[in-house]
Structure 1
Amino acid sequence: MKHFFICSLLIILWGCQKHDKSTQHILSNADGSIELTFDLNKNLQPYYLLKYQGKMVLDTSRLGLKRTDGNFESQLSLVSVSEPETITDSYTMFHGKQQQMEYQAKQYTVHLKNNQDQEFNILFQLSENGVALKYQFPETSEDLKRIEEEFTSYKFGPETKSWLQPMAKAKTGWEHTNPSYEEHYEMAISPDKPSHIGEGWVYPALFETDSVWALISETGLKENYCGSRLKYNEELGALQVTFPQTEEVFPGGALNPESVTPWETPWRIITIGSLADIAESTLGTDLADPAIEMNTDFIKGGLSSWSWVLLKDDFTNYETSKKFIDYASNMNWDYCLIDCDWDQKIGFEKLAELASYAQSKDVKVLVWYNSAGSWNTTPYTPRSKLLTHEARESEFKKLKDIGIAGVKIDFFGGDGQSMIAYYHDILKDAAAHELLVNFHGTTLPRGWQRTYPNLMTMESIKGEEFVTFEQVNADLQPSHCATIPFTRNVYDPMDFTPMVLDSIPRMHRRTSKAFELALPILFTSGVQHMAEIPEGMSKQPGEVIELLKNIPVDWDESKLLSGYPGKDAVMARRKGSTWFVVGINGENIPKTIPLDLSFTGSKTGTLITDKQKNSFQIENVTSDQLKEIELNGYGGFVLKLD
């Protein structure tokens, strides 16, 4: 009897200490391949675990926020978890990997309250290969609420490999222009490795665990939130969503999130699955805000000539600009970009002449602006012309009146909420004046190309111009380019400004001609600013020039055929009934890569490869006979099938 009493007491005590599992809820996508477990821990802190096809992707990962007026990360009570609601969406994109988009997901709403009886929701959406979550404050208040910290985290196992780009230290670099998302990715590192700069990692962040890939980013970033990044938290043992550095603000504006309520955060998004699932994902626009009401008749993507990347400052003049307008016309390209200091070296009246001349050649002119106020010391002009709504109205009207098609705006100041609002304000005012927009020296788009269809592209990458600055960038370009299709360019357009087929002044180019030729097709951008100049283009075979006269930017379908980050990438893109298949080798070793082109049907076409590093081999092929492709070290290929 005594033994029975002791056993019963132990069972009761164990039961008291055991975590109450009534708060645990298992959420899944439609086919059950993704399983998300939500729960509260012993401190009543929300967390989640994530599995894909039974494999653990994320272990116990924290959730929640801390506001100045309330704690929404611990001592929470679970009110309810909704039954799944089917979310569907259908939309069209003007450029990118796919035009017609379909999205379907199961949405769950977790209703919580804190110990001050303040309401707090977490929304989860689970789609075929995606997980998205965001926070909502549903109560109505005119008082400004401020978020101090976000606890969203991603806890990967120690065996996980990561591909991460360091966040730069604010106010460093040339003329204090950092951060601008222009660092090289660190490859196949442990997720707990600290950034050598010390400011964490930018999005998108790529991970691989037991052959399951995950790509993390954010989308739906409105004016009332800051951009975020990831930083490893030793206490959590996980990468945590963190806020910008103190300096990353529009002068006098907010840094961290602040807003009246109701209020919701951006979506935290994770694409999960194979490497093809990652490269083909459209989750970044699927969860972005729908397009604003605006006229879209003027929106047209295409290729553009551009003198500055190879010729630099001294060639921003009237004569060179006219020459590059002729170049664009001869190449059947839609645009010519006139870069910095045009206001001093050409002048507004002569710019109007160039715009009129371009129109006679069926080419449209894009012009450069310096976004900066006091946040950096960049000398290039026009500068400080876009800082207020009134100034933008005046400047944009003048541009529209002389027939300018769009603006390239450079040197932004980071990810603080006020700087994010500055981006939104520019995009809205540009849309009102029917101007296309390209941001440089900039943050990540985060799906804005859907919300603002006039946003054609953003830099946010160590692009081709960096190869012209230092040999070390040229040396790293092959592996860098073979990483981008799985990271930076997955969710958003990217102004890499690709392709030098001839030579780069003072630099030894590591990539082959066919490698470079593949880049305008491998990378997606609403406007592809081509780095090659007329003299270099004139040296290329006729077949190559003809190919470059008809490269789309608004693809109907995209498929990753093979690849591995930093090593190689083979991508197929379709426009109408024509397939373009391209590949690059990021390593300096020859490779034979299998090709399964059965999805194209039986087609004939032209294959362009590297005979030697500095020359093309061009041959006619049929898709059903081409079973593999041989790539030289740092080589590439382009296959066009009609």
Structure 2
Amino acid sequence: MKATKKILILSFILNFFILNAQELVSPNEKIKVELKTSKGKADKVYFKILYKNKETYTEVLPESQLGIVQKNESFDNLVFIGESKIIEIHDDYIMISGKREHCENFGNQKTFNFKNKNNQKLEIVFRAYNNGVAFQYVFPNSSEKKVNIIEELTTYVIQEGTSRWIQLFEPSYEAFYPQSETGVSSDKNNGNWGFPALYKVNENPIWVLISEAGITENHCATMLNNSKKQSEYKVTYPAARENFKQIGAVAKLPWSSPWHTFAIGSLSDITESNLVTDVSKPNELKDTNWIKPGAVSWIYWANNHGSKDYKKVVEYVDLAVEMKWPYVLIDWEWDVMANGGNLEDASNYAKSKGIKPLIWYNSGTSWLEPTPVDRLLTAEKRKKEFEWLNKIGIYGIKVDFFAGDQQDMMQYYIDILKDAAKYHLLVNFHGATVPRGWARTYPNLMTTEAVYGAEWYNNNAVLTDKAAVHNTTLPFTRNVVGSMDYTPVTFSDSQNPHITTYGHELALAVVFESGLQHFADRPSAYYDLPLAPKEFLKNFPASWDDTKLIDGYPGEKVVIARKKNDLWYIAGLNGKDTTQTLTLTFDFLSNGNYELQLITDGKDSKSLDSKMLKVKKGETIKIDCLPRGGFAGVLKAK
């Protein structure tokens, strides 16, 4: 009897300390999250993500550590103390700009409760959506005293041999997304990598895009770092700046972290994902009728300079009139405009032609040479400036040169968006952090740069050879998480040549989504286009009812369709230096007969061909593209 009793006690002890696997499954049962926790003792907590490929679950994220640290309290070794019931999530909302107007997603949410060695509580909230996973940390205790969250222990495992497309981190997010199987860092980034991060799950047709969303004034933004081990990417806070020594975030409790997001599924699931806005705060603006996406004529690219020449500005206003684009952007140096007029004269001329002017600002936080500088840094300065803009008839601002991803910069971005909304001003962030969901919360945010875009043809010759590969990677990486101000569709050359074809450049208007689509070339380049491509660009929409990926692979090709009212705009890019045949399948159409105006590469890189085709749902056509070529077109029901 004594021996039996000892065995029972030992069995009880072993069961008490055994590692448990808590799980959460998406409503469609395609995605499963598993947490490995320790019952009854402090231990590290891990999670992994699985995706149902056919009838079996495939591991898409191996066991990865969770944890977070306050300045005076660590939440690394945790005791699991319980979990909530499942809460059904139904995101259903309207976006003014983005890849689709009506966004809807379904998920299941569960909160896992822990305590650390000092009995301080931590909640980890997981959501398993039908097309991804999101989680955040929550400190539930209340406190009037502010705490400093200094580090995350969150570490994502991406094993060697996994194909990945991640950019070396730099504060403006203007870098490439090269394909790699190792994730080897370089001296340039000290192991730091920027969001979003795309990878393919080995030989499976499953893709994952990692990012973050839902950032508020209580957060800094983060990056990934694999300097300790190449296969382990740790969520990392930005380093202190010279004039901002704080590490991490400072806020009162209760506090919740930003959402860590994983879009998961086929490549079309990734490209069409709205997960970043799904988990972000709903629209906080009561009146949004004044917010109008649209095409913009842009002066800087062709001239490698700003807007100090009034007569040049007039040329771009006239371009907007001819192309029926609603906006003109007056870029830097407008404060020293001369040669026939000043900013107010330019604004009045634009308005007399029915064109809405937008103007550029230096944020005053980073690169201080281009003027005007330091007109937006405080609430008082913004009030004075925005009242003046209303008076002279300016409709929006482009704010450039932000200093980094620290908490003060997150606060600054949001302050600009809130104050601009009070004065009905559209906002475009440049030299800025990658989108993290603000376009849903503050829909006057129309677009963000955070991309190695066509502007770089002004700076060096790198983009000349890399553009085609880069352009066919961005739809699966950067442009997934938010509107992207690449400043596309340039047929002539700026300071450095580009060798993509005219068909490729025309296609960028559709392939790249941006709430303000800045067409960057000189007026003569658009005036000299043949009739079909010129008409294609006239009245071009910058917001979409829906988006569908037809075909693609990062760095090789992309074929995409976007719907606006009763029209479908389609486009394809060849990312290779050799000819390639792209496939356009019309499965996305409704039943009926359609007419396709198709514009393709011509006999050489600087010519275009156009033809009309009749198509139906389910049909497929093949389109031959030149090296670094492309095509574009418009579909309408007959």
Indicate whether the TM-score tops 0.5.
yes
SS at match of 1:290: coil
Tell me which residue corresponds to 2:596: 605
Using the TM superposition, give the Cα deviation of residue 31 of structure 1 relative to its aligned residue in structure 2, in angstroms.
2.0
Q: Are residue 57 (structure 1) and residue 60 (structure 2) matched?
A: yes
Q: Deviations over 1:10-46 (max 9, x none)?
A: 9998996789446321211112211111122585111
Amino acid at match of 2:346: L
Name structure 1 gaps, 5 residues minimum. Answer: 169-178
Cα distance in 1, alignment partners of residues 446 and 95 from structure 2: 11
SS at match of 1:574: strand
User: Residue 101 of structure 1: which of 95, 103, 107 is its match?
Assistant: 103
Tell me which residue corresponds to 1:245: 239
Aligned residue pairs total 622
User: Residue 77 of structure 1: which of 53, 73, 79 is its match?
Assistant: 79
Amino acid at match of 1:541: P
Moved more, 384-393 or 588-597: 588-597
Tell me which residue corresponds to 1:298: 290
Q: Are residue 23 (structure 1) and residue 23 (structure 2) matched?
A: no
Q: 1:270 to 1:107 in 2, by over 3 A?
A: same
Tell me which residue corresponds to 1:416: 406
Using the TM superposition, give the Cα deviation of residue 158 of structure 1 relative to its aligned residue in structure 2, in angstroms.
2.7
Cα distance in 2, alignment partners of residues 236 and 122 from structure 1: 26
Tell me which residue corresponds to 1:130: 132
Cα distance in 2, alignment partners of residues 183 and 159 from structure 1: 23
User: Residue 190 of structure 1: which of 182, 186, 191 is its match?
Assistant: 182
Q: Are residue 275 (structure 1) and residue 267 (structure 2) matched?
A: yes
Q: Are residue 617 (structure 1) and residue 617 (structure 2) matched?
A: no
Matches within 5 A, 1:261-272: 261-272=253-264
Tell me which residue corresponds to 1:175: none
User: Residue 555 of structure 2: which of 553, 558, 566 is its match?
Assistant: 566
User: Residue 633 of structure 1: which of 627, 632, 638 is its match?
Assistant: 627
- Does the CA contact (< 8 Å) of 2:559 and 2:584 recur in 1? no
- Does the CA contact (< 8 Å) of 2:307 and 2:330 recur in 1? no
Name structure 2 gaps, 5 residues minimum. Answer: none
Q: Deviations over 1:91-132 (max 9, x none)?
A: 111111100111221000111111212121110011111100
Amino acid at match of 1:226: C
SS at match of 2:390: helix
Cα distance in 1, alignment partners of residues 75 and 36 from structure 2: 14
Tell me which residue corresponds to 1:174: none
Q: 1:541 to 1:349 in 2, by over 3 A?
A: closer
- Does the CA contact (< 8 Å) of 2:113 and 2:121 recur in 1? yes
Using the TM superposition, give the Cα deviation of residue 186 of structure 1 relative to its aligned residue in structure 2, in angstroms.
2.0
Cα distance in 2, alignment partners of residues 626 and 24 from structure 1: 47
Q: 1:19 to 1:610 in 2, by over 3 A?
A: farther
Cα distance in 2, alignment partners of residues 143 and 228 from structure 1: 24
SS at match of 1:515: helix
Cα distance in 2, alignment partners of residues 314 and 87 from structure 1: 47
- Does the CA contact (< 8 Å) of 1:95 and 1:526 recur in 2? yes
Question: What is the TM-score normalised by the length of structure 1?
Answer: 0.93
Amino acid at match of 2:599: I
Matches within 5 A, 1:350-361: 350-361=342-353
Tell me which residue corresponds to 2:43: 44
SS at match of 1:137: strand
Q: Deviations over 1:312-333 (max 9, x none)?
A: 2265311111121111011100
Matches within 5 A, 1:194-273: 196-209=188-201, 210-232=204-226, 234=228, 237-247=231-241, 251-252=243-244, 254-273=246-265
Cα distance in 2, alignment partners of residues 14 and 594 from structure 1: 62
Amino acid at match of 1:65: I
Q: 1:195 to 1:446 in 2, by over 3 A?
A: farther
Identity %: 37
Q: 1:594 to 1:505 in 2, by over 3 A?
A: closer
Amino acid at match of 2:387: K
Q: 1:347 to 1:70 in 2, by over 3 A?
A: farther
CA RMSD of aligned residues (A): 2.4
Q: Deviations over 1:565-615 (max 9, x none)?
A: 011100011112211110000111111222211332431121100112110
Tell me which residue corresponds to 1:451: 441
Moved more, 236-245 or 78-87: 236-245
Using the TM superposition, give the Cα deviation of residue 393 of structure 1 relative to its aligned residue in structure 2, in angstroms.
0.6
- Does the CA contact (< 8 Å) of 1:307 and 1:316 recur in 2? no
Matches within 5 A, 1:163-182: 163-168=165-170, 179-182=171-174
- Does the CA contact (< 8 Å) of 1:437 and 1:455 recur in 2? yes
- Does the CA contact (< 8 Å) of 2:306 and 2:331 recur in 1? no
Amino acid at match of 1:320: K
Q: Are residue 534 (structure 1) and residue 523 (structure 2) matched?
A: yes
Q: Deviations over 1:190-211 (max 9, x none)?
A: 2465574215111110011133
Moved more, 511-520 or 113-122: 113-122
Cα distance in 2, alignment partners of residues 8 and 473 from structure 1: 75
Q: Are residue 316 (structure 1) and residue 301 (structure 2) matched?
A: no
- Does the CA contact (< 8 Å) of 2:212 and 2:261 recur in 1? yes
Matches within 5 A, 1:356-375: 356-373=348-365
Q: 1:346 to 1:87 in 2, by over 3 A?
A: farther
Using the TM superposition, give the Cα deviation of residue 78 of structure 1 relative to its aligned residue in structure 2, in angstroms.
1.4
Cα distance in 1, alignment partners of residues 552 and 450 from structure 2: 23
Using the TM superposition, give the Cα deviation of residue 507 of structure 1 relative to its aligned residue in structure 2, in angstroms.
2.7
Q: Are residue 520 (structure 1) and residue 509 (structure 2) matched?
A: yes
SS at match of 2:380: helix
Using the TM superposition, give the Cα deviation of residue 237 of structure 1 relative to its aligned residue in structure 2, in angstroms.
4.7
Cα distance in 2, alignment partners of residues 262 and 314 from structure 1: 46
Tell me which residue corresponds to 1:471: 461
Q: 1:518 to 1:346 in 2, by over 3 A?
A: same
Amino acid at match of 1:245: A
- Does the CA contact (< 8 Å) of 1:195 and 1:201 recur in 2? no
Tell me which residue corresponds to 2:163: 161
Cα distance in 2, alignment partners of residues 204 and 348 from structure 1: 45
Q: 1:235 to 1:544 in 2, by over 3 A?
A: closer
Cα distance in 1, alignment partners of residues 541 and 49 from structure 2: 38
Q: 1:342 to 1:255 in 2, by over 3 A?
A: farther
Q: 1:621 to 1:312 in 2, by over 3 A?
A: same
SS at match of 1:427: helix
Question: What is the TM-score normalised by the length of structure 2?
Answer: 0.93
Moved more, 228-237 or 421-430: 228-237
Using the TM superposition, give the Cα deviation of residue 466 of structure 1 relative to its aligned residue in structure 2, in angstroms.
0.3
- Does the CA contact (< 8 Å) of 2:213 and 2:259 recur in 1? yes
Q: 1:146 to 1:380 in 2, by over 3 A?
A: same
SS at match of 2:581: strand
SS at match of 2:561: strand
Q: 1:314 to 1:484 in 2, by over 3 A?
A: closer
SS at match of 2:432: coil
Q: Are residue 285 (structure 1) and residue 282 (structure 2) matched?
A: no
Q: Deviations over 1:416-446 (max 9, x none)?
A: 0111111111111111111111111111120
Amino acid at match of 2:309: N
Q: 1:496 to 1:284 in 2, by over 3 A?
A: same
